[in-house]
A and B are shown apart, each in its own frame.
Chain A
Amino acid sequence: MGYQSSLSQLKALIVDDMAVQQTTLRGQLTLLGITDVDAAANADDAYRLVKSRRYGLILCDFNLNQKTDGQQFFELIREHGLLPADCLFFMVTAESSYISVASATEQYPDAYLLKPITAADIEDRLKSLLEKRHALLPVNSRIAKGELAEAVLQCDQLLAARNRWFMPLLQIKGQTLLKLGRHEEAQQVYKEALEVRPELIWARLGLARAHKAAGQFEQARQIAQDIVDSDDGARNVAAYDVLAESLEAAGDPEGAMWALRDAALVVPSARRHRISGECAYRNGDLDMAKASLTKATKASRGSVVDNPQDTLLLAQTLVDLGQPAEAMNLIRDGNKSYRTHPTFSQVSLAIKAQAEIAAGETDKAQATLDLARAGLSKGKADFATIALAKAEIVCGHEDAGMALLKEAISSDHENLRIKQLISRTLTDTGHEHQLDAVIESATAGLQGKVSDARKLLRDSRIDEAVNLIEAAAHEYPENTGVLLQACQINCMALRLKKEADTERVERIQDYLGQLERLMPGQDRVVMMRRYFRETLGMLDAHAQAQPH
Chain B
Amino acid sequence: MDRSAALALIAHDLKNALGGLETELSQLIDEPSPVMAQRAHLHCTDLRRQFVQFLTLYSADREGLRVLCEDESPLELLEAMKRQWKLKLQVDGCPLEIAIRHPDLSPPFWYFDRRLVQLALDAAIHNATRFARRHVWLAVQREGEKLVWTVEDDGCGLGAQDPGQASATGLGQALAEAVAQAHRQGQRRGSATLGQSSEGGARFTLELP
Chain B residues whose C-beta falls within 8 Å of the C-beta of A166 in the assembled complex? 71, 108-109
B76: chain A residues within 8 A (beta carbon): 128, 164
Tell me, yes or no, whether A99 is within 8 Å of chain B by CB.
yes
* Docked pose: A372 CA to B111 CA in angstroms: 58
Task: Please measure, in the bound complex, the distance between the C-alpha atom of A168 and the C-alpha atom of B48, giving whole angstroms.
Answer: 34
* Cross-interface CB contact of B115 among A114, A120, A198, A199, cutoff 8 Å: A114
Contact (Cβ within 8 A) B66 A164: no
A side interface size, CB within 8 A: 22
- Given that A164-B73, A164-B109, A166-B108 are known contacts, is A124 also in contact with B80, CB under 8 Å in the complex? yes
- With an 8 A cutoff between CB atoms, is B196 at the interface? no
A102 B68 Cβ-Cβ under 8 A:
yes
Chain A residues within an 8 Å CB radius of B80: 120, 124
Residues on A with C-beta less than 8 A from B6 are none
Q: Which residues of B contact A98 (CB under 8 A)?
A: 115
Q: Which residue of A lies closest to B79 (CB)?
A: A124
A430 lies within 8 A of chain B by Cβ = no
A193-B71 Cα distance, complex, nearest whole Å? 11
In the complex, whether B38 has a CB less than 8 A from a CB of chain A is no
Q: Is A163 on the interface with B (CB-CB < 8 A)? A: yes
Q: Specify which chain A residues have a CB less than 8 angstroms from the CB of B186 in the assembled complex.
A: 198
Q: Which chain B residues (61-96) contact chain A, with CB distance < 8 Å?
A: 66, 68, 71, 73, 76, 80, 83-84
Whether, in the assembled complex, B52 has its beta carbon less than 8 Å from a beta carbon of chain A, the answer is yes
How far apart are the CA atoms of A99 and B55 in the complex, in Å?
14
Q: Is the CB of A197 within 8 A of B111?
A: yes
How far apart sit A114 and B118, CA to CA, in the bound complex (Å)?
A: 13
0/1 interface trace, chain B 111-127, chain A, CB 8 Å (1 if under) = 10001000000000000
- Once the chains bind, are B71 and A168 in contact (CB under 8 Å)? yes
A122 to B109 alpha-carbon distance, docked (Å): 21
Looking at the assembled complex, report how far the CB atom of B70 sits from the nearest CB atom of chain A, in whole angstroms.
9
Whether B55 and A95, one on each chain, are in contact in the complex, defined by CB atoms closer than 8 angstroms, is: yes
A162 contacts the other chain (Cβ, under 8 Å)?
A: yes
Complex formed: what's the CA distance from A385 to B194 in Å?
Answer: 72
Q: How far is the CB of A415 from chain B (nearest CB, A)?
A: 39
Interface flag for A167 (CB, 8 Å): yes
Output the least CB separation between A136 and chain B (Å). Answer: 13
Convert A170-211 into 0s and 1s, putting 1 for each residue whose CB lies closer than 8 angstroms to a CB of B: 000000000000000000000000000111100000000000
A95 to B84, CA, bound (A): 20
B68→A167 contact, CB < 8 A: no
Q: Identify the interface centre among A95, A164, A167: most chain B CB within 10 Å of its CB.
A: A164
User: Given the known A-B contacts A164-B109, A197-B111, are A95 and B71 also in contact in the complex, defined by CB atoms under 8 Å?
Assistant: no
Residues of A within 8 A of B84 (CB): 120
A168 CB to nearest chain B CB (Å): 7
Residues on B with beta carbons closer than 8 Å to the beta carbon of A163: 108
Contacts of A120 in B (CB 8 A): 80, 83-84
B45: A residues at CB distance < 8 A: 118
Q: Is A35 an interface residue (CB 8 A)?
A: no
A residues less than 8 Å from B115 (CB atoms)? 98, 114
A236 to B66, CA, bound (A): 15
Cβ of A116 < 8 Å from any Cβ of B? Answer: yes
A103-B66 Cα distance, complex, nearest whole Å? 10
Closest-CB distance, B156 to chain A (whole angstroms): 32
Contact B111 A162 (CB under 8 A): no
| Closest-CB distance, B72 to chain A (whole angstroms) | 9
Question: Which residue of chain A lies nearest to B69 when distances are taken between CB atoms in the complex?
Answer: A197
* Bound CA–CA A497/B109 (angstroms): 52
A116 surroundings in chain B (CB, below 8 A): 48
**Residues of chain B within 8 A of A99, CB atoms compared:** 66, 68
Contacts of A102 in B (CB 8 A): 68
Residue of B nearest to A98 (CB): B115
Pick the contact of A128: B48, B68, B73 (CB < 8 A): B73
Residue of B nearest to A167 (CB): B71
Could you tell me which residues of chain B, from 118 to 168, have a CB within 8 Å of some CB in chain A? none
The closest CB in chain A to the CB of B52 belongs to A95
Q: Which residues of chain A have a CB within 8 Å of any CB of chain B?
A: 95, 98-99, 102-103, 114, 116, 118, 120, 124, 128, 162-168, 197-200
- Given contacts A114-B115, A124-B80, A164-B73, list 12 more A-B pairs with CB under 8 A: A98-B115, A99-B68, A103-B66, A103-B68, A128-B73, A128-B76, A164-B76, A164-B109, A165-B109, A167-B71, A167-B109, A168-B71
